[in-house]
A and B are shown apart, each in its own frame.
Chain A
Amino acid sequence: MSEFSTIYKLSLLACFAALLAPLCLARCPALECWYVEEKSSRAGSFPSAMSQEKSFLYISTGFNLAYNTQNPPVGINPNRVYRIVDSTGTLCSSALQPVDGAVEKPECEINPFTPHPAMVDWTLSLTSPDTSPAYLTADWLSSSIQGLKNKLAVSSILRLPVGTTEATAVMNVYSHTPVLQTKLKQDVLLDCGFTLPQEEENSEFSLEWRYQYRGEGRLLFAYDAKFDKLHEKYITKDDVEVDITNLHGSGNASLLIKNVSIRHGGTYICTIYRPYLLAQVAMELEIIEPPHLALLPSPFWAAPGHEAVLTCEVSGYYPLDVEIKWMAKPANGEPAEFLTEAQLSGHRQSIEGTFSQTSSIRIIPETQDHLTQYSCLITHLGASSKKSVVLQVAGASGPSIEDAVGMFIVAFISYGLLKLIYWVFSAKASPEDDKKDK
């Protein structure tokens, strides 16, 4: 017991002496994880042989005061229980902590990894073709951990002395924005950071940003840090920026997209290459524009027994999926009901890429339908909304402005006509009257 407290005091002292307090006090997670192994079956085909077994990870910074002593769940193969030392503390983020008793757990998968020289142009300086460092002789794993509520995604490369389960994280690539939602015309920052072991403050890495959408993709940014070289010939004319001056010191490789338009929506992949190693995080940029609603005509007038058309114009929304429903609520207090017979137009796309669609209902109202409330209900990723109009059946209520104007006109014309008739009669009839009087 006294021995333990001495070690404790010593490590505490070491911690503060080395100014590593955050790493010492970090509470690192112990995580359930899937160990997934994929075997190359026959060349050119999708891998068919894949094994999946449960695994457990203890993570520490190597300086931790409080080790996680939680036992791995029963039934896990002891060879799949790994102790991972991440001296940068990236894997100890609170976003990756499982919440006690919660059903939702961070998603975690580890896979065997084979170091391999990268073959793309901006990574060629990292490896020389004829040497293979002794350092590579080890077991390698890659891990990918996704925190709750998409707060953090970390991808790591782990090195294990052959035949052991004691792993060291030799690189992490992470993003605090694995899923990012934005409206149009905003500037968005796709977060991507990376950490290398602290004893290795070097610039032997390359950075690559790619864009991928519906199968098609392109390179956005390729940078060779060793030679401080931007590979311009691959750079497409996209309004994206990476702050290279910040890259070496802070490991901040974030991508800034200015004035987001529809064509920016998709998957962005941030990849860091190290000699023989690579790790990446993929981010989703989702563009969401809520729909605008217009209900026409408004006010809504109809004559009894005559067909009237009510149109709901839904416009300016993105993405495409929208649900338009109709509801009628009678004025007499009867329950509202959904109207299923609506006519739906095809969808149209505006120049900026947002969509619009029109739905119409046809009504043949009776007098008792007066003051029925018709509503158009929209369900969309951006917002769910509703617009209502009250049906006015002609003859079922007091006169409207049009009616009043009409009445005035009729009264005026009638008066004029009567006056005319009276004048004609009195003018022409007077001789007869005279005659008769005689």
Chain B
Amino acid sequence: MPIFLVLGILNFSISVFAATHSLKYFYTGTSGANGFPEFITVGMIDEEQFTYYDNFIKRETPRQSWVMDAVDPDYWDRNTQICVGAEQQFKVNVDTLNKRFNQTGGIHTLQNMYGCELDDDGTTRGFDQYGYDGDDYLSFDKQTLTWIAASQRALTSKGIRDAEMANNQYLKGYYEGTCIEWLKKYVEYGSNILKRKVQPEGFLTHKITQFGTEVTCHVTGFFPRAIEVVWHNGGPRDLDIESGEVLPNEDGTFQVKKTLKLTKKPKDIKKDDYTCRVAHSSLPDDKIFRYDPAMRNPNEPNGNGSFPIWIIVVVVGILLAAALGVGLFIWKKKSSSGDKNPKYIQTSTGENSSTGSSNEA
């Protein structure tokens, strides 16, 4: 869903320990994309989708079972009406913006993200933001009760909305009051899902690269999404680390990888020099994984592939031939002393001796 790409991705700065709940709605109006719904709304609670609407189904629908218990019977009709109204507006607005940006074709999107957040300590935040074609367009600043125009084109909207002071007060009230009330209600009803704690599992892998060693700390199976995975070497020096995205598992938990890049080969690294520390709200104490450079990766054969195989084959072959030769010699010696097959040995030794004598000659 394009809207998540624009607004949700790469949020690495979440603090693990200040638990935050959030209620967000994403509206996306699209023009020029055949077969793709022109208008979609998605409701998210604590980054988990719980409602969906598009102009094909014309109905807001639940996406989590617990939502059914949290809401009154008229809830879906009411919200469907809100979505239908927004759909009409978005259609007009996308067309208007296409014209104002002198666009005659292609795919264009108008996005709106609004909602609120509540921290454990009672701090609240509210936001109402519009984006056009992936760029910021207009957003509400609850603190100053003004609108921020990130695009020159949005200035006229800013002018009009700044002057609508009663409406701006209403919005502030909505985000600090109504929105937070709904958020609390949803979190309460969905607590079995939203407040569950699942502990992460972890393991390390390593590989030798042309530049040194890469050690990866894999952490998986945790919920909620917020987690801290940090590489340490006991010193203050910054470590060269690459972070992967936090990815969803199919059971609703998450996984993440952090790779430590070292310019040393494993034999030059001391055991326990580097540790991967995992902090998560489900863990009473941080989990520590110590890097042992002598370790073997799971499921990895201990092969030595770089040496040409034919050398090993030839060496083994020669050893076999030599063993055969020695074996034959011993056997011959034994049998000659026992006189079991004198004729055969006679011939054999005769050949040997003739070569021997010709050499001597």
Report the Cα distance A349→B353, complex, angstroms. 76
CB within 8 Å for A409 and B159 given contacts A217-B139, A267-B150: no
Contact A155 B92 (CB under 8 A): no
Query: Nearest-CB distance from B310 to chain A (Å)?
Result: 7
Q: Which chain A positions have C-beta within 8 A of B309?
A: 303
The 3 closest A-B CB pairs, nearest first, are: A215-B129, A406-B311, A43-B167
Considering residues A280, A348, A424, which has the most beta carbons from chain B within 10 angstroms of its beta carbon?
Answer: A348
Q: Mark B114-133, 1 if CB is under 8 A from A, else 0.
A: 00000000000001011100
Which of A44, A210, A394, A428 lies in contact with B308, CB distance below 8 A? A394
Contact B318 A36 (CB under 8 A): no
Q: Which chain A positions have C-beta within 8 A of B130?
A: 46
Q: Which chain A positions have C-beta within 8 A of B353?
A: 432-433, 436
Contact B152 A144 (CB under 8 A): yes
Report the Cα distance A414→B171, complex, angstroms. 89
Contact A428 B93 (CB under 8 A): no
Report the Cα distance A410→B311, complex, angstroms. 7
Within A262-303, the residues touching B (CB, 8 Å) are 266-267, 269, 280-282, 294, 296-297, 303
Which of B131, B164, B314 lies in contact with A43, CB distance below 8 A? B164
B interface vs A, CB < 8 Å?
Answer: 6-7, 10, 12, 89-90, 92-93, 96, 99-100, 102, 112-113, 127, 129-131, 135-136, 139, 141, 144-146, 148-153, 155-157, 159-167, 170-171, 209-210, 238-245, 247, 257, 259, 307-311, 314-315, 318-319, 322, 325-326, 329, 333, 336, 349-350, 352-353, 356
Contact A424 B329 (CB under 8 A): yes
Which of A46, A212, A296, A347 lies in contact with B148, CB distance below 8 A? A212
Which chain A residue shows the least CB distance to B136?
A: A212
A142 CB within 8 Å of chain B = yes
Contact A109 B100 (CB under 8 A): yes
Which of A119, A210, A346 lies in contact with B145, CB distance below 8 A? A119
Binds B, one of A110-118, A159-167, A182-190: A110-118
Contact B155 A142 (CB under 8 A): yes
A214 CB within 8 Å of chain B = yes
Q: Which chain B positions have C-beta within 8 A of A113?
A: 159
Report the Cα distance A212→B307, complex, angstroms. 56
Considering residues B90, B150, B159, which has the most beta carbons from chain A within 10 angstroms of its beta carbon?
Answer: B150
Q: Which chain B positions have C-beta within 8 A of A347?
A: 244-245
A14 CB within 8 Å of chain B = no
Q: Which chain B positions have C-beta within 8 A of A172?
A: none
Contact B322 A34 (CB under 8 A): no
Chain A interface category by residue count? 35 or more
CB within 8 Å for A267 and B314 given contacts A215-B127, A217-B148: no
Report the Cα distance A384→B74, complex, angstroms. 56
A interface vs B, CB < 8 Å?
Answer: 34, 36-38, 40, 43-48, 50, 52, 107, 109, 111-114, 116, 119-121, 142, 144, 146, 153, 155, 210, 212-217, 266-267, 269, 280-282, 294, 296-297, 303, 346-351, 356, 394, 402-403, 406, 409-410, 413-414, 417, 420-421, 424-425, 428-429, 432-433, 436
Q: Which chain B positions have C-beta within 8 A of A436?
A: 349-350, 353
Which chain B residue shows the least CB distance to A37?
A: B156
Which of A45, A267, A406 lies in contact with B89, CB distance below 8 A? A45
Contact B311 A46 (CB under 8 A): no
CB within 8 Å for A215 and B136 given contacts A144-B152, A425-B329: yes
Contact A350 B322 (CB under 8 A): no
Report the Cα distance A406→B209, complex, angstroms. 24
Contact B150 A212 (CB under 8 A): yes
Q: Which chain B positions have C-beta within 8 A of A433?
A: 353, 356
Contact A215 B113 (CB under 8 A): yes
Enumerate 24 A-B pairs (CB-CB under 8 Å) in ascending A order: A43-B164, A44-B164, A44-B171, A47-B157, A48-B89, A113-B159, A116-B162, A119-B144, A144-B153, A210-B148, A214-B131, A216-B139, A280-B149, A281-B152, A282-B149, A348-B244, A349-B244, A351-B238, A406-B311, A410-B318, A417-B319, A420-B322, A424-B329, A436-B350
Report the Cα distance A281→B151, complex, angstroms. 8
Q: Which chain A positions have C-beta within 8 A of B319?
A: 417
Contact A432 B12 (CB under 8 A): no
Which chain A residue shows the least CB distance to B350?
A: A436
Main DSSP-derived SS at the A contact region: mixed
Q: Which chain B positions have C-beta within 8 A of A348?
A: 242-244, 257, 259
Q: Which chain B positions have C-beta within 8 A of A112?
A: 156
Report the Cα distance A212→B7, complex, angstroms. 13
Q: Which chain A positions have C-beta within 8 A of B153?
A: 109, 144
Which chain A residue shows the least CB distance to B356?
A: A433
Query: Nearest-CB distance from A328 to chain B (Å)?
Result: 22
Contact B157 A38 (CB under 8 A): yes
Contact A349 B12 (CB under 8 A): yes
Contact A214 B136 (CB under 8 A): yes
Report the Cα distance A267→B129, complex, angstroms. 14
Report the Cα distance A37→B157, complex, angstroms. 10
Which chain A residue shows the least CB distance to B241?
A: A351
Query: Nearest-CB distance from A18 to chain B (Å)?
Result: 34
Report the Cα distance A36→B164, complex, angstroms. 20
CB within 8 Å for A429 and B356 given contacts A48-B89, A410-B314, A414-B318: yes
CB within 8 Å for A48 and B92 given contacts A109-B153, A267-B136: yes
Contact B308 A296 (CB under 8 A): no
Identify 17 new A-B residue pairs, CB closer than 8 A, beyond the known A43-B164, A215-B131, A348-B257: A45-B89, A46-B157, A50-B96, A111-B156, A112-B156, A119-B146, A142-B156, A215-B136, A217-B136, A267-B136, A269-B149, A296-B210, A349-B10, A351-B238, A410-B314, A421-B326, A436-B350
Which chain B residue shows the least CB distance to A146?
A: B152
Report the Cα distance A421→B141, complex, angstroms. 92
Which chain B residue shows the least CB distance to A432?
A: B349
